[in-house]
Structure 1
Amino acid sequence: MVAVFNKDVLSWYLITLKLKETVDANLKKSPSPQWQPLPRNPLLTNGTPGAGGETPAPALLTTRQDPASVAFPAQSPAHSPKPQDPEWVITIRGKLAQARAEEAACPWARLSVYRVPKSLRDGDDRAYSPQAVSIGPLHHGKRRLRDMERHKWRALHHVLKRTGHDVTAYLDALRPMEDRARACYDGRVAWMPADEFVQCLVLDGTFVLELFRGALEGFAGDLGYSRHDPVFAMRGAMHAVRSDMILLENQIPLFVLDRLLGTQQGRPEQTGAVAALAVRFFDPLMPTDTPMHRKDRSMLESSVAASSATASFDPLSEPMLHCLDVFRRSLLRAGLQPTPPPAARLWPRMWSVPRRVVADKRRQQFVHCVSELREAGIRCRRRNTDRFWDIRFDKGVLHIPRILIHDGTKPLFLNLIAFEQCHHMDVDATPGGNNITSYAIFMDNLINSAEDVKYLHDRGIIEHWLGSDAEVAELFNRLCLEVVFDINDSYLSGLSDQVNRYYDYKWSTWVASLQHNYFTNPWAIVSLVAGVFLLLLTTMQTFYSAYSYYRPAA
């Protein structure tokens, strides 16, 4: 019994020792005391010397405080990280510093080749994407476009064979302008290594120049291509390739093409020659049923190539960005000027009662549709010019140039409109930054139905190769669905005021109604004349009856 008792006591004793050792070990690992006196500093005194000529600083420092915040109390700028900031705040400050650096660099000032915004390309992605060939880095390497790569290498081979140059001459010519070329693209092309980027510019740029020269000089002559070539011939895949080369995302800066052509010809610093070639190459894409007149084409080309262009060709007198910009400016040739607003005219009050009052000058449309304009006595007539945008209004008649609508018209206008939406034209010398958009919206307002298209087709204004008039109406109605546009900042704003002012007077409506109801065919005219004649006879009979009553015969 005693042995058992001693065993229990011994067990409790051992447990107590173990607990004591554990507590002691934890105490040794615990941090230093919370409050510690500061070391004496002879520079920190309270002004009353004590023993030894100095007084200990009365302040106490806690371990919860940051010593740097006490030693350096000055505040840092808002964007600089602070040691006491949490990690997520430091991340935010880093992003702000990055934004500040980007704002100072202003990279968008040099952009010219843009990614089409998602708001514009919804439902029409095919109209903005190349289908046969990629030009530039934005669509480089896509699987469905790789078949054309071997033809690009063939083009480069022909150039080297003709000129006797080594490929390094072209690589070295473009390498110094790599950063300048990268800055033109709004597509995050930083992922592409420098060597691959320069190779892409040389390969695609040489391909473009061969097409330009072949369209002007012929591929089978000095260029040395076979008449049966599947690409370098004026047939076969040429139409698809030309259509892809006008897309906004499928461009190469024009200064790159100028340097490549100048290197081929031994004049690396020349400019303007590529733009002149592009004007001729893209002539078949003009949205008219007749090509550009030879005289106009020669004037355009001379205005591009000459160092000092004439004033009548302002759109092509300044440096251009890329092929799409060249094509757009060639469309707006001959000094496009806005139509001035109409001067106030003194109409008789009885004929000038307006149907409505437009209180908001920021109208949502240029003009009414064709059907409504016809009811107001406004007619449409074809204007004999190949400048499809040059619309005039005179004495109740809209003079509209002829335009040809085909399968390539929609992608062409969509990319021109997207370029005007993305690029700030006011920094360029181009007169007006939304002229193509203005024309598209004007035609959209003018056409609401297949009947409107039929009327314009009968007047020789619209010629189309689509299946029906309804498809043409849908094409124009969908061109500018998500476009941001100020109708007052348009070259057609003054013309719109003239048309709407004419539309607002009742006299023109009464005359139009009379013509529409009583002068549509010979029988209606005969009925009208007979009715007027009977009315006159009835009036005369009534007069003589009344006259004989009041003044009977003697």
Structure 2
Amino acid sequence: MAAVFNKELFSWYLITLKLRETLESAVPTSSAGAPMLEFPEQPQKKQEKQQQTPSDSLQIVIEGDGENHEDEETRSPDFDWVGSIKKKIEQAGQEEKARSWSKLSIYRVPHYLREVDNKAYVPQVISLGPYHHGEEHLRKMDKHKWRCLHHVMQRPNQDIKLYLDTAREMEAKARSCYEGPINLSSNEFVEMMVLDGCFMLELFRGVDEGFEELGYPRNDPVFAIRGSINFIVRDMIMLENQLPLFVLDRFLRLQLNNSYQKGLLAQLALEFFYPLTPTPMTEREGTYIAASFDPLSVLEDLHCLDVFRKSLLRPGPKPRSVHGGLHCLHVFRKSLLRLWPKRRSVQGDHQSIPCVTELREAGIKFRKRKTDRFWDVKFKKGILRVPRLLIHDGTKSLFLNLIALEQCHTDCGNEITSFVVFMDCLINSPEDVAYLHYRGIIEHCLGSDADVADLFNQLCQQVVFNINNSYLSRLFKHVNRSYNNKWNNWRASLTHNYFSNPWAIISLFAAVVLLLLTFIQAFFAVYAYCRRSS
């Protein structure tokens, strides 16, 4: 009975299988190759699959492998990694299109320059601009900013809404002047520009017109000549503590209305920053720095630090490129020489010159040059003429920020950096500073000559600079050529050993007279002997 039941069951299974094959041939399949209509599997289906032909089983395996391969490719970690890289590339392209690098002028000081002295780049009293906005140690000055804005709004024809609307119009352009994203909302950025801009203009006008004329009491803690303005001046000259010049110019137009004159802002800024000039007042040709500087030549998209730098360099020397006018063979030769290893020495390296002590031993003399441009150094006939330079507590921060501007802004030259490198080469020890002070070239109010030597030895650390692209390139070559001249060294040695003081001169004169008398005595002795022989 069991055998008959199994036989009937097997017959029904064959009929079902035949019917299924007929329907699969008539029904269309999906894109993956699987039938769209399926029957529920019978309990014996597993055994039937094992009895299929090798070709059918192979076809089924291949189709299944194709589906699994697509799923694995889209879900693999490498696919996600490539996709993330593509997104980063697209994001970088969008940021480059949205950002205008030509307007960038206010930079964050690179970390390698901060290693010299981080405090020289960080404001200690007041923040201007977005970089140090809201820092804890600078919030004490905020109440004075609001007090300043209150004074400005009390004057006739002044409306805070007019300032806010004007700042709103300049927001996009002002943001493009700063490096990197600014983590301030639109309202916060506009408020910052109005508050900081009016504060700076109030200081400029107070120094020019007088703070009492603007409505401030004589004993005001900030808006007075005897207040904390000296510390504020040093913070306002820092590279990271700047506002775009066109923002200040628009606010000044609102304050002065019809009495505004083009270039007035630059004149007010230069008068405000005048105490920081490295040239002593006695060497100035006039009491006002703007007398020999044209503020109309200042570009509107820069800031007060750039205006101050241009005033120091009037009329500035142009950097001289070593590749200008050279043919390709000469350039190729120089590239080969750079690859050839050589020993760094003063004789073969024009990137440096000897210090004051070594130059004096080689016969080079130092003289003070009478000019109000501290960078205007001359060398002629073995005499190095250097203008007088005043060193004070703010000199280090000033020079470091000027160098940082020249290192970051591609449209700047390297005149300030060139001069600082020149002074760094001259000064290696306190004795070098003492001799330059003796010659009237350096005046300082620091603790000692060693402090001045340390200052110049630290200014040029981590600075990328090539003296061959500097206005002092030719001077360096002439100084090294004179230093390497043997005749100059012999003459200097003679002067140093026998003409250094009056007693040495008297001894040399006595020796020359004694030698001359000995020669005369020998001559007459020989003459008398020859006469007796004849």
Residue 49 of structure 1 corresponds to which residue in structure 2? Answer: none
Q: TM-score, normalised by structure 1?
A: 0.77
Q: Which residue of 2 aligns with 1:15?
A: none
Q: Which residue of structure 2 aligns with residue 386 of structure 1?
A: 372
Contact 2:367 2:386 in 1 (8 A): yes
Q: Tell me the alpha carbon deviations over residues 101-141 of structure 1, each in whole angstroms, 9 at most, x when there is no partner.
A: 33444543321111111111114111111111001110000
2:271 aligns to what SS in structure 1?
Answer: helix
Q: Does 1:199 align with 2:191?
A: yes
SS class of match (1:266): helix
Q: Measure, in 1, the Cα distance between the counterparts of 2:480 and 2:198.
A: 51
Q: Quick one: which amino acid aligns to residue 90 of structure 1?
A: G
Equivalents in 2 of 1:268, 1:187: separation in Å? 37
Determine the C-alpha separation between the residues in 2 that align with 1:362 and 1:171: 57
2:271–2:288 CA contact under 8 A, matched in 1:
no
Q: 2:203 aligns with which of 203, 206, 211?
A: 211
For 1:467-506, list aligned pairs within 5 A: 467-506=447-486
Q: Aligned partners of 1:246, 1:519: CA distance in 2, in Å? A: 49
Aligned twin of 1:21: none
Match of 1:421, SS state, is: helix
Q: Distance in 2 between matches of 1:527 and 1:360?
A: 35
Displacement of 1:91 in angstroms is: 1.1
C-alpha change, 1:359 and 1:375, in structure 2 (3 Å) is closer
The question of 1:443 aligning with 2:430 is answered no
* Paired position in structure 2 for 1:220: 212
Q: Classify the secondary structure of the residue corresponding to 1:425.
A: coil
For residue 252 of structure 1, report the CA deviation from its aligned partner. 0.3
Q: Distance in 1 between matches of 2:315 and 2:439?
A: 26
Residue 19 (structure 2) aligns with? none
Q: CA deviation at 1:298?
A: 4.3
- Contact preservation (8 Å) 2:204, 2:269: yes
CA distance in 2, matches of 1:269, 1:107: 30
What is the match of residue 102 of structure 2?
109
Deviation by residue 1:48-77 (Cα, 9 ceiling, x = unmatched):
xxxxxxxxxxx987344369989xxxxxxx
Is it true that 1:540 corresponds to 2:526 in the alignment? Answer: no
Distance 1:422 1:441 in 2: 17
User: Which amino acid in structure 2 is aligned with residue 62 of structure 1?
Assistant: E
User: Which residue does the alignment assign to 1:276?
Assistant: 267
Partners of 2:519 and 2:532 in 1: how far apart? Answer: 19
For 1:400, what is the secondary structure of its paired residue? strand
Aligned partner of 1:181 among 165, 174, 185 = 174
The one of 115, 118, 135 aligned to 2:128: 135
Match of 1:521 among 491, 501, 515: 501
Q: Which residue of 2 aligns with 1:364?
A: 351
1:452 has 2:432 as partner: yes
Give the counterpart of 2:227 among 210, 233, 236.
Answer: 236
Alignment partners' CA distance in 1, 2:170 and 2:146 = 22
Which residue, 33, 56, 59 being the options, matches 1:37?
Answer: 33
**Structure 1 residue 406, shift from structure 2 partner:** 1.1
Identity %: 54
The 1:476/1:66 distance shift into structure 2, 3 A limit, reads farther
Tell me which of 225, 234, 244 is aligned to 1:253.
244
Q: Structure 1 residue 318: deviation in Å? A: 4.1
In structure 2, the CA distance between the partners of 1:86 and 1:442, relative to structure 1 (3 Å rule), is same
Deviations 1:164-193 (A, max 9, x none): 32211001001122111111111431x210
Distance in 2, matches of 1:264 and 1:36, equals 76
* Structure 2 residue 168 is matched with structure 1 residue 154: no
Match of 2:335? none
* Letter aligned with residue 441 of structure 1: V
Matching residue within 302, 305, 316 for 1:324: 305
SS of aligned partner of 2:139? helix
Contact 1:135 1:251 in 2 (8 A): yes
Displacement of 1:359 in angstroms is: 10
Letter matched to residue 280 of structure 2: D
Match of 2:268, SS state, is helix
Structure 2: how far apart are the matches of 1:324 and 1:511?
Answer: 47
CA distance in 2: counterparts of 1:320 and 1:381, whole angstroms? 40
Where in structure 1 are there 5+ consecutive unaligned residues?
1-34, 41-58, 71-80, 306-315, 342-355, 427-432
Cα distance, 1:252–1:298 mapped onto 2, change above 3 Å:
closer
Q: How many Å separate the matches in 1 of 2:346 and 2:217?
A: 66
CA shift for structure 1 position 469: 0.5
How far did 1:293 drift? 3.9
- Which residue pairs with 1:429 in the alignment? none
For structure 2, the residue ranges without an aligned partner over 5 or more in a row are: 1-30, 37-58, 323-342
**What's the CA shift string for 1:336-356, capped at 9, x where partnerless?**
356999xxxxxxxxxxxxxx9
| Distance change in 2, residues 1:104/1:184 (3 Å) | same
- Opposite residue 218 of structure 2, the aligned amino acid is R
Contact kept, 8 Å, 1:340 with 1:495, in 2: the verdict is: no
- Alpha-carbon contact 1:248-1:418 (below 8 Å) kept: yes
CA distance in 2, matches of 1:383, 1:340: 26
Between Structure 1 and Structure 2, which shows a larger proportion of helix residues?
2
Question: Displacement, 1:272?
Answer: 2.9
CA shift at 1:504, angstroms? 1.7
CA shift for structure 1 position 202: 0.5
